[in-house]
Amino acid sequence: MTKLFGSAVLSFWVFLIFNSAPGACAQAPQDVIAKVGDQVITLHQIDTMINSSSIVGLDIPALGTPERNRARLALLDKVISADLIYLDAQQKGVDKDPGYLHDVKFFSDAMLSALYKEKVLIGDLPVTQKEVKEYFDKNVKKGTEFTKEVSLSIEATLRKEKLKEKTAHLRETLRKGQA
């Protein structure tokens, strides 16, 4: 395991030294910097993780700088470690543990229920321009300009009202069905 990790870090470092030119982040077969089991890790993935994980007050290291390379190495180390832990857990049968399987099923069922509610029960809640204009005329102070931002805000308000109505209707239907 240590030998695999050392080889991966060494390979990554060599890759960075010879490919630090701009555009080296393009997703391509030569972009692969490590492989753990069947999980391929690319420079593009590492850079995407760095770019999307900024912390308030800390700058994202610029491309081509030593700081960027250190951040890449640190992140690659964490990704490889996580992948190795995952593979070790699978090898030791932790993925067959009843507690784990229960939690996975619970999470899966919750996700399925939420998706079903969103896609099937509630579905699309269309709002017409006529409804937006009527709401504007009834509820907005006279003299207010009807801008795109105002229209979008009203549309969101109407959609939220429709969602409340539909949710209340679904609750009532469920209560009647269970009574």
Per residue in 101-157, pLDDT (tens digit) is 999 999 999 999 999 888 877 778 889 999 999 999 999 988 899 999 999 999 999
Q: What pLDDT shows up at residue 50?
A: 86
Domain end, chosen from 95, 120, 137, is at: 95
43, 128: one domain: no
Domain end, chosen from 37, 64, 95, is at: 95
Pick the closest to residue 132 from 110, 113, 154 (CA basis): 154
Domain count across the chain: 2
What does 111-126 look like in DSSP terms, one character per residue? HHHHHHIIIIII----
Q: What pLDDT shows up at residue 58?
A: 63
4 pLDDT above the threshold of 70: no
64, 117: one domain: no
Q: What pLDDT shows up at residue 6?
A: 44
80, 150: one domain: no
Full residue range of the structural domain in which residue 55 is found: 2-95
**Interior/surface letters 17-50, b for 16+ CB within 10 angstroms, e for the rest:** eeeeeeebbeeeeebbbbebeeeebbbbbbbeeb
Domain end, chosen from 95, 111, 136, is at: 95
Q: What pLDDT shows up at residue 17?
A: 37
Per residue in 24-81, pLDDT (tens digit) is 444 445 789 999 999 999 999 998 888 887 655 567 888 889 999 998 999 999 999 9
142, 172: one domain: yes
